[in-house]
Structure 1
Amino acid sequence: MSHPQGEQPLITHLIELRTRLLRSLAAIVLVFLALVYFSNAIYDFVAQPLLSQLPEGTSMIATDVATPFLTPIKLTLVVAFFAAIPYLLYQAWAFIAPGLYQHERRLIMPLVASSAVLFYTGMAFAYYVVFPLVFGFFTSTAPTGVTVATDIASYLDFVLTLFFAFGVAFEIPVATILLCWTGVTTPKSLKEKRPYVIVGVFVVGMLLTPPDVFSQTLLAIPMWALWELGLFFARFYVRKEERQEDASQEGG
């Protein structure tokens, strides 16, 4: 078994951290420069779920003079950050890897890769499933005589919040595994809390979706499934002695 590297001076770690942060920042800037020419097209794509639900003859509006220019630029910068997430996670991995044992590195690497995949999956779920439901509900409930004309900056803030919320929500399996791996809890303890988890995901679904049972269930069930997935894989991230103890308790 290989051991972590020996103790290094604090200044060495700080220099290494600065290097990783600068590389991460450079990656975001490079992606942004590559995408900034297409900023309007990117905004059009993100706005499509709302535009497709607006009544015929209506459109989104810009209430400030600089908003038509600044809002797509802001979105492109955020997209650059999201696109660079795999590289950012790699830099984080490269920073902490020297302090891990070989078997810990083998366990961490799948978590790093799956974190990016799950985050993107959460964003895709929000765009293709949640947005049509949310905006369809909002536009259909407008009072008579009220024209729905959403400001493009307000819309961007709203969808970015949902993108980030669903991206983070889909990290449930990784969070579950880390809680078990670090000893905060155990798979056996989490199994006993399953009824509370089920209630919790439906409460979250109620808070993040329009007030109808279909939309709430559409979010709650994937979150529950992701929690179960994390619970399944968490067994492989607990110490061997704990696995044996849990197995003996279940057998008894």
Structure 2
Amino acid sequence: MSSRPDGNQHPPEHQEMPLVEHLLELRNRLLKMVLAVVICFAAIYPFANELYLWLSQPLRELLPVGQTMIATDVTSPFFAPLKLALVLSVFAAIPVILYQLWSFIAPGLYSHEKRLAFPLLFTSVILFYLGAAFAYYVVFPLVFSFFTAIGPEGIVELPDIASYLNFVLKMFFAFGVAFEIPIATVLLILTGATTPSDLAAKRPYIVVACFIIGMLLTPPDIISQTLLAVPMWILFEFGIIFGRLAKREVTEPESEEPSGG
């Protein structure tokens, strides 16, 4: 029997379950995740058109008087709100999805691991939502102001609703994932892949990498690139701080028995 890094020889009880029971439990968890998304979709879809109007407001309010968004494809008025409702349903169901994942892996964790894993899962949800909110309330007004102001004289701006949706969803995903940097940093430290001191020593390279990622994930303008890169760097610094605290939390219970073991 292999030993754990903390010297504990006793495996968690979840590892003693037969493979078939593991697969059945995983299937049940996945079904509950899908059911949560379906329920959210059923609740959101009736308001899909209103939600699209809300989502497009940062751009529409900057368009000249008399100009609006258009649909260049005959199916866009139907599929654009449908796609938005589906994506928002997944976003809304994220707490349930992560809870089901937590319920599946929790029996296989030691007590001190549980004390860290649940806060990390909870914080990852909050950070993702904060990233999407930051994109909508801070980034979109600045980016769309920039784009609508630099257009050539005499060019009529008529944004396509499907193209706009693809753009904002990409930005939501980019900022939501970028705001997960503290979680990724803490996990790298806890797994021993690196140390807080090593990460702090590589700070100049991290800052450059943040701007490169911002350049790749955002439109080709300095405003949106900076608005993504600077928060990423700040969140990286927070990740180092919380990584030190989490590392101290893990190294303290060296002889702790696993829960349920």
Tell me the TM-score normalized by structure 2.
Answer: 0.87
The equivalent of 1:150 in structure 2 is 159
Could you list the runs of 5+ residues in structure 1 that have no partner in the other structure? 244-252
Deviations 1:5-44 (A, max 9, x none): 1422221111111111100000010011011111111101
CA distance in 1, matches of 2:17, 2:250: 31
The equivalent of 2:97 in structure 1 is 88
Matched, 1:211 2:214: no
Percent identical: 57
Matched, 1:139 2:145: no
Secondary structure in 1 matching 2:74:
coil
CA distance in 2, matches of 1:31, 1:240: 37
Kindly state the Cα deviation for residue 187 of structure 1 after the two structures are TM-superposed.
1.0
Matched, 1:159 2:168: yes
CA distance in 1, matches of 2:158, 2:202: 45
CA distance in 2, matches of 1:220, 1:132: 17
CA distance in 2, matches of 1:211, 1:66: 31
Alpha-carbon contact 2:58-2:141 (below 8 Å) kept = yes
CA distance in 2, matches of 1:215, 1:163: 12
1:95-114 matches, cutoff 5 A: 95-114=104-123
Alpha-carbon contact 1:130-1:209 (below 8 Å) kept = no
Q: Match for 2:12: what amino acid?
A: P
Residues 68 and 240 of structure 1: is their aligned pair in 2 closer, same or farther, counting only changes over 3 Å? closer
Q: Match for 2:114: what amino acid?
A: R
Matched, 1:169 2:178: yes
Alpha-carbon contact 2:112-2:250 (below 8 Å) kept = no
Out of 180, 185, 188, which is 1:179 matched to?
A: 188
Quick check: 37-46 or 4-13, which moved more? 4-13
The equivalent of 1:4 in structure 2 is 12
Aligned-residue Cα RMSD (Å) equals: 2.0
The equivalent of 1:250 in structure 2 is none
CA distance in 2, matches of 1:106, 1:241: 9
Kindly state the Cα deviation for residue 240 of structure 1 after the two structures are TM-superposed.
7.1
Residues 51 and 75 of structure 1: is their aligned pair in 2 closer, same or farther, counting only changes over 3 Å? same
Q: Match for 1:223: what amino acid?
A: M
1:72-83 matches, cutoff 5 A: 72-83=81-92
The equivalent of 1:33 in structure 2 is 42
Quick check: 196-205 or 163-172, which moved more? 196-205
Tell me the TM-score normalized by structure 1.
Answer: 0.90
Could you list the runs of 5+ residues in structure 2 that have no partner in the other structure? 1-7, 253-261
Kindly state the Cα deviation for residue 204 of structure 1 after the two structures are TM-superposed.
3.0
Q: Match for 2:170: what amino acid?
A: T
Kindly state the Cα deviation for residue 238 of structure 1 after the two structures are TM-superposed.
2.6
Q: Which has the higher contact order (CA 8 A, sep 6+)?
A: 2
Kindly state the Cα deviation for residue 218 of structure 1 after the two structures are TM-superposed.
3.2
Q: Which runs of 4+ in 1 moved over 6 A?
A: 239-243
Kindly state the Cα deviation for residue 185 of structure 1 after the two structures are TM-superposed.
1.1
Secondary structure in 1 matching 2:68:
coil
Quick check: 1-10 or 55-64, which moved more? 1-10
Deviations 1:83-130 (A, max 9, x none): 111111111111111110011001101001000000000000000111
Q: Match for 2:221: what amino acid?
A: P
1:115-134 matches, cutoff 5 A: 115-134=124-143
Secondary structure in 2 matching 1:149:
coil
CA distance in 2, matches of 1:215, 1:152: 21
Matched, 1:49 2:42: no
Matched, 1:225 2:234: yes
Deviations 1:116-163 (A, max 9, x none): 000000000000111111111112222222211111011101110110
Q: Match for 1:211: what amino acid?
A: D
Secondary structure in 2 matching 1:62:
coil
Alpha-carbon contact 1:3-1:102 (below 8 Å) kept = no
The equivalent of 2:208 in structure 1 is 199
Kindly state the Cα deviation for residue 209 of structure 1 after the two structures are TM-superposed.
5.1
The equivalent of 1:71 in structure 2 is 80
